[in-house]
Amino acid sequence: MRHRRLPFIAGFLVLPLTLYAVLVLSPYAQAFYLALTDWRGVSARAEFVGADNFARLLDDPQVLGALKNNAVMLLVVPIATVVLALFLAAALSLGRRRGAGVYRVVYFFPQLLSVAVVGVLFQFVYTPNSGLLNGVLNLLGIEGRSWLGDPSLALWAVMAVVVWSAVGFYVVLFCAAMESIPREILEAAAIDGASALTRLIRVVLPLVWENVQVAFIYLGMAALDGFAIVQIMTVGPGGPDNATEVLGLTLYRNAFTYGKFGYASALGVALFFLTLALAVLVLRGSRRDRVEMA
Amino acid sequence: MTHSHRVRRPRPWTSLLHVALVGWGVIVTLPLVWAVMSSFKADRDILTSPWSLPDRLHGENWVRAWTEASIGRYFLNSAVVVGSAVVLTMLFGAMVAYVLARYRFPGSRLIYYLFIAGMAFPLFLALVPLFFVVRSLGLLGTPLGLILVYTAYALPFTVFFLTSFFRTLPTSVAEAAFLDGCSHSGVFFRVMLPMAKPGLISVGIFNFLGLWNQYLLPLALNPEESEFVLAQGLAVLAVRQGYASDWSGLFAGLTISMLPVLAAYVVFQRRITSGLTAGAVR
């Protein structure tokens, strides 16, 4: 069994590893170097400028605006999504509701739509005159708005779409976690006189906490991105008036519109450290003792 | 009397919960139903009222979207690129994962962690250098370029997932095959791959939807309009049909791009849900 072992191992690894090294590892490594240059895409002319790009990032109003918008998304999107998903999952899985499966199937739909479909769809849901949202509001006697045209509303409109498309996935995730909670624990809490809300917060939440953590990391990463939905849906894109500018969009524009590849790479490096910091923060800050289920 | 407290009192919040559950269902489905309905309407009916039903089924919208607006071509481009990338990812991912899970050799830990590290970096970080790597390979704007890039970026999660999956499989069958004189690769293709089918299906679904969803990579690496994938095509269509005010054609394009996925979901619902959530609960 040992003969021709090494040739076999090498044969299985060589193609995937080459592909991975050339297209993934080397670009990631290059990005850290490019971030320290003023490279504009012409091969010979790349001056080493040290940390200049990073200093300029902090003076760039577009970067700062994008950073602010990403920060707002980082605060709003994960919390809104997790709270909604927890609530819906609890209502579905703890009440032994008939037809819960159907709800779950329907809630999951948006997860299957590509971000382009969602972006284009909601661009028209938000259209002032013939859009669905204002149509519904008119029916209720509320005056419609120009959702994506008003700088004070546009970012909220974008965040609502992100939440809309994410909730279903986490409902399914949380439902699976909640269904593995032994019924006796919940019944014991109910007999002790705990209200439904108390049971949810004091008993259920600690038992599904690991899944909530995972949700926060994934949603946080989605909130730091937001590129595709903003690029497709908003005016400009990133407008009106930079109201929906996100870091990914600033990076993309600096690289592929202005040709400032060194500067864009610096932005990429900054984005990497933000993502890393977020993951560490969530894992550290929300650490709790593992609850063992009997 | 354990029975007595199980008798249900009418509780006001149960009906409130029910309203909330139905409410979210409506919020999720209404935009989708609206898009499908609008794809059958005439343009003027779309503009006058979002609520009116189509006066008749305007199937010509779909034809126009499929042919004139090239949604058909973009759809096929997407299918070719994503389909090939998923097959290649599964093959390469399974090969690497199998070797890492079942063989001890110098450097195996290092290779494993190199793949795992790929999951920690945001795609944006690689974007600029990647563009130049792909360009210098002469693959910019080609389907092959996209297929290889998609495969490379789908590998980390695939390797991670399948390595732990291969470790859970029993060794006895493979050993019996070795005793029967089967070669190393023979054991992999004839014994281990069939045994790993459930894991392969889960991660395959995960990869398929993830890559079908991809927008940033084609936007940067695939500038040729004839090679556009569906996501790019739709975004461009939205801008263009907006100018031409061909709303019905746009809604038809939207519907064409979402119905196959939703239909597949309804049929393979359990598999797809478990495949997608497998990514989060490892």
Note the pLDDT of residue A72.
Answer: 96
Average pLDDT for B192-199: 89
Would an 8 Å CB–CB cutoff place B80 in contact with chain A? no
Which residues 179-218 of chain A have a CB within 8 Å of chain B? Answer: 191, 196, 211, 214-215, 218
**3-state SS assignment for residue B72:** helix
Note the pLDDT of residue A278.
Answer: 86
Q: What is the pLDDT along chain A (294 residues), one digit of tens a residue?
A: 456 788 899 999 999 999 999 999 999 999 999 899 888 876 667 778 888 889 899 999 999 999 999 999 999 999 999 999 999 998 888 766 677 788 888 998 898 898 999 999 999 899 887 788 988 888 888 888 889 999 999 999 999 999 999 999 999 889 888 888 888 888 888 888 888 888 888 888 888 988 898 899 889 988 998 999 999 999 888 889 889 999 999 999 999 999 899 999 999 999 999 988 888 888 777 665 555 554
Contacting residues of A for B155, CB less than 8 Å apart: 16, 19-20, 24
Is B93 among the domain residues? yes
Query: Is A286 within 8 Å of A213 (Cβ atoms)?
Result: yes
Note the pLDDT of residue A294.
Answer: 43
Contact B127 A103 (CB under 8 A): no
Contact B17 A106 (CB under 8 A): no
Contact A19 B30 (CB under 8 A): no
- C-alpha B70/C-alpha B64 separation (Å) is 9
Query: Is B122 within 8 Å of A249 (Cβ atoms)?
Result: no
Contact A8 B184 (CB under 8 A): yes
Note the pLDDT of residue B4.
Answer: 44
Phi-psi sector, A146: left (phi>0), alpha (psi -120 to 50), beta: beta
Contact B231 A269 (CB under 8 A): no
Considering only residues A294 and B52, tell me which one the structure prediction assigns the higher pLDDT: B52
CA B121 and chain centroid, separation: 20
Is B31 among the domain residues? yes
Contacting residues of A for B135, CB less than 8 Å apart: none
Show the tokens assigned to A195: 């209200």
Query: Is A246 within 8 Å of A158 (Cβ atoms)?
Result: no
Contact A91 B280 (CB under 8 A): no
Contacting residues of A for B44, CB less than 8 Å apart: none
Contact A106 B28 (CB under 8 A): yes
Distances (CA, A) of B195 to A13, A16, B147, B187: 21, 22, 27, 11
- Furthest-apart CA pair in chain B: how many Å? 79
Write out pLDDT tens, residues B78-96: 999 999 999 999 999 999 9
Contact A87 B20 (CB under 8 A): yes
Considering only residues A52 and B42, tell me which one the structure prediction assigns the higher pLDDT: A52
> B186-195 burial, b if ≥16 CB within 10 A, otherwise e?
ebbeebbbee
Phi and psi torsions of A60, nearest 5°: -85, 110
Note the pLDDT of residue A153.
Answer: 92
Contact A227 B93 (CB under 8 A): no
Least confident of A57-71, B28-42, B48-62, B137-151: B48-62
Closest CA to A164 of B32, B260, B254: B32
Query: Residue B232: which domain range?
Result: 70-245
The partner residue sitting opposite B155, judged by closest CB among A20, A196, A231, is A20
Gyration radius of chain A's alpha carbons: 24
Residues B127, B167, single domain; the answer is yes
Contacting residues of B for A191, CB less than 8 Å apart: 5
Distances (CA, A) of A11 to A16, B24, B93, B94, B150: 10, 52, 14, 13, 22
CA-nearest residue of chain B to A268?
Answer: B125
ipTM value for the complex: 0.86
Residues B201, B93, single domain; the answer is yes
Structural domain spans, chain A: 48-285
Write out pLDDT tens, residues B167-187: 988 888 888 888 888 889 899
Show the tokens assigned to A270: 């900054």
Closest CA to B150 of B106, B64, B92, B102: B92
Residue B165 to chain A, least CA–CA distance (Å): 18
- Looking at residue B7, the DSSP 8-state letter turns out to be S
Q: Which CATH number does the domain housing residue B174 bear?
A: 1.10.3720.10
Contacting residues of A for B267, CB less than 8 Å apart: none
Contact A23 B21 (CB under 8 A): no
Please tell us whether the domain made up of A48-285 is placed in CATH 3.90.170.10.
Answer: no
Phi and psi torsions of A37, nearest 5°: -120, 170
Structural domains in chain B (count): 2
Q: How many CB pairs under 8 A join A and B?
A: 259
Which residues 268-287 of chain A have a CB within 8 Å of chain B? Answer: 268-269, 271-272, 275-276, 279
Contacting residues of A for B232, CB less than 8 Å apart: 116
Is B259 among the domain residues? no
Which of B71, B78, B88, B125 has the most A C-beta neighbours within 10 Å, making it the best mutation to test the interface with A? B125
Contact B92 A228 (CB under 8 A): no
Contact A106 B29 (CB under 8 A): yes
CA-nearest residue of chain A to B39?
Answer: A121
Closest CA to A190 of A202, A180, A179: A202
Is B256 among the domain residues? no
Residue B65 to chain A, least CA–CA distance (Å): 14
Considering only residues B114 and B237, tell me which one the structure prediction assigns the higher pLDDT: B114
Percent of all residues in chain B with a pLDDT value above 70, rounded to a whole number: 91
Residues B190, B59, single domain; the answer is no
Note the pLDDT of residue B3.
Answer: 46
Is B5 among the domain residues? no
CA-nearest residue of chain B to A20?
Answer: B152
Considering only residues A7 and B14, tell me which one the structure prediction assigns the higher pLDDT: A7
Write out pLDDT tens, residues B201-254: 888 888 988 898 899 999 999 998 889 999 999 888 888 776 667 788 888 889
Q: Is B7 exposed, middle or buried (0-12, 13-18, 19+ CB in 10 A)?
A: exposed
Query: Is A70 within 8 Å of A226 (Cβ atoms)?
Result: yes
Closest CA to B148 of B230, B197, B221, B97: B221
Residues B152, B46, single domain; the answer is no
Evaluate the omega torsion of the peptide bond into residue B143 and state whether it is cis, within 30 degrees of 0. Answer: no
- C-alpha B82/C-alpha B87 separation (Å) is 9
Contact A4 B184 (CB under 8 A): yes
Contacting residues of B for A231, CB less than 8 Å apart: 215, 219, 235
DSSP-derived secondary structure for A99-152? THHHHHHHHHHHHHS-HHHHHHHHHHHS-TTT-HHHHHHHHTTPPP--TTTSHH
pLDDT-derived band at B1, boundaries 50, 70, 90: very low
Would an 8 Å CB–CB cutoff place B12 in contact with chain A? no
Phi and psi torsions of A48, nearest 5°: -80, 120
